[in-house]
Structure 1
Amino acid sequence: MSGEITTTNHDDEARFDRALLESLPRHRLSTSTVVTDGINHFEGFLMRDLLERVGAEGNTAVALALNDYLIEIPREDFYRYDVLVADTMDGERLTPRDKGPLWIVYPRDDHRELQDIRYDYRWVWQLYQLEIQ
């Protein structure tokens, strides 16, 4: 992570390994997606917990995926909804071949407004980097 953050561990960035990410409080979420069948069961950490860990101060998270997909996500999403950064789906660790290692997942089935295509674009799989602006 980079950008408007106050807690860093490498130059002006906050870099995370698996152990550090797994030290964040764990949460579970069951929801449907537009790219899988049925209800899937995700596990990971809340995006707002990650933002608090690094002292994020900006209003936007720019998410970058391994496939160069890039999108700006309003910070308010992470406080309005329990947006998960999932590292497992249906009990299996996510890998780059199946949308991992990290996937931003919204509680789509819990809020009717999240079934809008604007939010579907914010489901970033193969999450690689975040910049807070």
Structure 2
Amino acid sequence: MTNLATRRNFILYVKYATLFTAVAKPRFALALDEEPLLRVTSISDKISSVFTDSMLLDLPQVSFTTETIWTDTPQEFSGPTLRSVLKTAGLAFPARDLKLSALNDYSVTCPADLIGENAPIIANRRNGNPFDIRKKGPLWLVFPYESSVLYRTETIYSLSIWHLSEISVL
């Protein structure tokens, strides 16, 4: 990694750490040896939270095995629900839509009415293990596609954003 890239990563880390600690609930502490993976912001940017992998693991986990149109075999995905992440970030169940953004600048708008109690999840484990960018990680918004025909639509597939890095309330 070049000095410029290292410096940029450090600045981003400090920025996210500062944002998180300003609004953090006492039970969370940003580990200095962990990179922030996910930023959640409100419409006014007055509420902003940053999550690391261990913070996401501290939330209640949902796990399911499903086939996807992007994988050759059924995969087990696990992670917190989108709803629980929003709640932990201090956002009530959104009456507004969400903008989901990926590391590669892909973004999509998620209608609030598609956020259920148990789906989608923000998967940070695939087949029981963390997964990296080459395998669509480290975070992937996933639905239990095989559980209902409602989860096998172009709309749902477009919301299944991998490399998820930011959620903003619109």
Q: TM-score, normalised by structure 1?
A: 0.88
Alpha-carbon shift at residue 37 of structure 1 (Å) = 1.2
Secondary structure of the corresponding residue to residue 34 of structure 1: coil
Q: Does 1:93 align with 2:144?
A: no
Moved over 6 A (4+): none
Measured against aligned partners, the alpha-carbon deviations of 1:53-101 in whole angstroms (never above 9, x if no partner) come to 1232442111110111100001221226521110111122111111111
State the distance in 1 between where 2:75 and 2:50 align. 29
* Structure 2 match to 1:25: 60
Q: Unaligned stretches of 5+ in structure 1? A: none
Alpha-carbon shift at residue 118 of structure 1 (Å) = 1.4
Q: Amino acid of the residue matched to residue 42 of structure 2?
A: G
Secondary structure of the corresponding residue to residue 159 of structure 2: coil
Q: Amino acid of the residue matched to residue 2 of structure 1?
A: T
Q: Does 1:109 align with 2:146?
A: yes
What CA RMSD, in Å, does the superposition of the two structures yield over aligned residues? 1.9
State the distance in 2 between where 1:81 and 1:119 align. 15
Q: TM-score, normalised by structure 2?
A: 0.70
State the distance in 1 between where 2:86 and 2:158 align. 20
Secondary structure of the corresponding residue to residue 52 of structure 1: helix
State the distance in 2 between where 1:89 and 1:19 align. 15
Which structure carries more helix by proportion? 2
State which structure, 1 or 2, has the greater radius of gyration over its C-alpha atoms. Answer: 2
User: For 2:86, which of 22, 47, 51 is the aligned residue?
Assistant: 51
Alpha-carbon shift at residue 110 of structure 1 (Å) = 0.6
Q: Amino acid of the residue matched to residue 140 of structure 2?
A: W
Q: Say how many residue pairs are matched.
A: 129
Which structure carries more strand by proportion? 1
Q: Does 1:36 align with 2:71?
A: yes
Alpha-carbon shift at residue 27 of structure 1 (Å) = 1.4
